[in-house]
């Protein structure tokens, strides 16, 4: 067997649109799984990486880390999967597996750095990894997930990033029946907070700057919508929430939300990577033992737990299915928040070209 040349969609530079190209996928090793990609979700991280917004992008860049597909080949030592199974791949395709984080199933916090599904260091072929905007992917079975058969496969794809990004803090901060959870931002991440927190039995509130999202939030399962620019409404929920998940992907002031936390409550940032502005006001934190924390995706075991939970409660993302050839327009629409709530690429459109 030899390495394979496959079709993909990617970009050669930060200022160039995505276009069809070819990439190399390694031949399977003893523990590898080859997956024919059926659907790939579109994440804000894809856009940021393609356009080098965070710096460090290596070109050519092929994004995509919300992958659902059918297994076409397995290595001789693979034990958890068979040819024909439906499988998923999220944001991670490798880690050191020996550090304390990896041993505790927290591969996303690997002390030597995890290997991202795209723009990571490719330990097999050299160079960097390519993501799911492609026909096939080859991944070590440890980083492959079992996709429940009862769920809409296209709508499962965003669970592998947006789902686990919100599930992980819900579980870490022990959200359960009767917990009071709030979410800042109603987008790809925010709508998953509502669905997953409701599935866990929590009451859920959306913080929104305008009333325009009230109806959508309640249709998704939110119990209440608080307009964050309305002082009276904000005062009405003072000291209420056990956990606030902040999904806003841009610079914003988190201080107004701190007073709405209960004693020992936590505000968790999952959306914005960068410096907070303005600075945190420590007064409500000290007087109420309140915390501001961060959380990054989840480990493989936790991601599988989330998928199994979603299967039991019939939870998937709200999606708009697009063709691969429409990805550049989708990026522009995503920047305008013109999607409810996640784009997913039907990868059959790539094969038809």
Q: How confident is the model at residue 353 (pLDDT cuts 50, 70, 90)?
A: low
Provide φ and ψ at 53, rounded to 5°: -65, -30
Rounded to an integer, the average pLDDT of 183-202 is 97
Give the contacts of 313 (CB within 8 A, at least 6 positions apart): 199
- Spatial contact of 137 and 67, defined as CB atoms under 8 Å apart: yes
Q: Over the stretch 20-52, which tens digit does the pLDDT of each residue have?
A: 999 999 999 999 999 999 999 999 999 999 999
User: How crowded is residue 251: how many other Cβ atoms within 10 Å of its Cβ?
Assistant: 11
- Spatial contact of 308 and 148, defined as CB atoms under 8 Å apart: yes
Q: How far apart are CA 132 and CA 114, in angstroms?
A: 17
Residue 300 structure tokens: 């493989």
Provide φ and ψ at 234, rounded to 5°: -65, -40
Q: Over the stretch 253-281, which tens digit does the pLDDT of each residue have?
A: 999 999 999 999 999 999 877 887 778 99
The dihedral region occupied by 297, where left means phi > 0, alpha psi between -120 and 50, and beta the remainder, is left
- Spatial contact of 101 and 74, defined as CB atoms under 8 Å apart: no
Q: pLDDT: is 351 or 283 the higher one?
A: 283
Question: How is domain 4-161+318-351 classified at the CATH fold level?
Answer: Quinone Oxidoreductase; Chain A, domain 1 (3.90.180)
Query: What pTM was estimated for this model as a whole?
Result: 0.95
**Cα dihedral across residues 222, 159, 59, 275: positive or negative:** positive
Residue 292 structure tokens: 């501001």
- Spatial contact of 193 and 319, defined as CB atoms under 8 Å apart: no
Q: What Rg, from alpha-carbon coordinates, does the chain have?
A: 20
Q: Does the pLDDT value for residue 223 go beyond 90?
A: yes
Q: Over the stretch 52-108, which tens digit does the pLDDT of each residue have?
A: 999 999 999 999 999 999 999 999 999 999 999 999 999 999 999 999 999 999 999
Query: Residue ranges of the domains in the chain?
Result: 4-161+318-351, 162-294
The architecture (CATH level 2) of 162-294 comes to 3-Layer(aba) Sandwich (3.40)
> What share of the chain has pLDDT > 90, as a percent?
92
Rounded to an integer, the average pLDDT of 322-345 is 95
Q: Over the stretch 135-181, which tens digit does the pLDDT of each residue have?
A: 999 999 999 999 998 999 999 999 999 999 999 999 999 999 999 99
Q: Is 309 helix (H, G, I), strand (E, B) or coil?
A: helix
Residue 116 structure tokens: 């991202």
Instruction: Give pLDDT, residue 2.
Output: 81
Residue 81 structure tokens: 């999967």
Torsion of CA 198, 218, 273, 156, to 10 degrees: 60
């Amino acid at each position: 067997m030899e390495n394979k040349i496959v079709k993909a969609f990617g970009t050669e530079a930060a200022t160039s649109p995505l276009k069809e190209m070819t990439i190399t996928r390694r031949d399977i090793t003893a523990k590898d799984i080859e997956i024919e990609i059926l659907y790939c979700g579109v994440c804000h991280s894809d856009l940021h990486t393609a356009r080098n917004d965070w710096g460090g992008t290596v070109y050519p860049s092929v994004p995509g880390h919300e992958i659902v597909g059918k297994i076409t080949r397995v290595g001789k030592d693979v034990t958890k999967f068979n040819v024909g199974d439906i499988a998923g791949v999220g944001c991670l395709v490798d880690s050191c597996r020996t550090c304390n984080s990896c041993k505790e199933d927290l591969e996303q916090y690997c002390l030597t750095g995890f290997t991202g599904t795209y723009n990571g260091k490719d330990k097999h072929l050299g160079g960097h990894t390519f993501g799911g905007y492609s026909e096939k992917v080859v991944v070590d079975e440890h980083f492959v997930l079992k996709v429940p058969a009862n769920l809409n496969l296209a709508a499962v794809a965003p669970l592998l990033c947006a789902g686990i990004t919100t599930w992980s803090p819900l579980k870490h901060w022990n959200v359960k029946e009767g917990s009071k959870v709030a979410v800042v931002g109603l987008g790809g991440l925010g709508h998953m907070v509502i669905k997953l927190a409701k599935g866990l039995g929590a009451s859920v509130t959306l913080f929104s700057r305008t009333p325009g999202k009230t109806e959508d939030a309640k249709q998704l399962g939110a119990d209440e919508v608080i307009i964050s620019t309305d002082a009276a409404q904000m005062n009405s929920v003072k000291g209420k929430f056990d956990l606030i998940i902040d999904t806003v992907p841009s610079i914003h002031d988190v201080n107004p939300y701190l007073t709405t936390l209960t004693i020992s409550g936590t505000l968790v940032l999952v959306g914005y990577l960068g410096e907070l502005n303005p600075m945190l006001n420590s007064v409500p934190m000290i007087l109420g033992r309140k915390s501001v924390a961060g959380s990054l995706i989840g480990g493989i075991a936790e991601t599988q737990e989330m998928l199994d939970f979603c299967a039991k409660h019939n939870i998937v993302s709200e999606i708009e299915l697009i063709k691969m050839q429409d990805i550049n327009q989708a990026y522009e629409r995503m920047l305008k928040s013109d999607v409810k709530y996640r784009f997913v690429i039907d990868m059959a459109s790539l094969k038809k070209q």
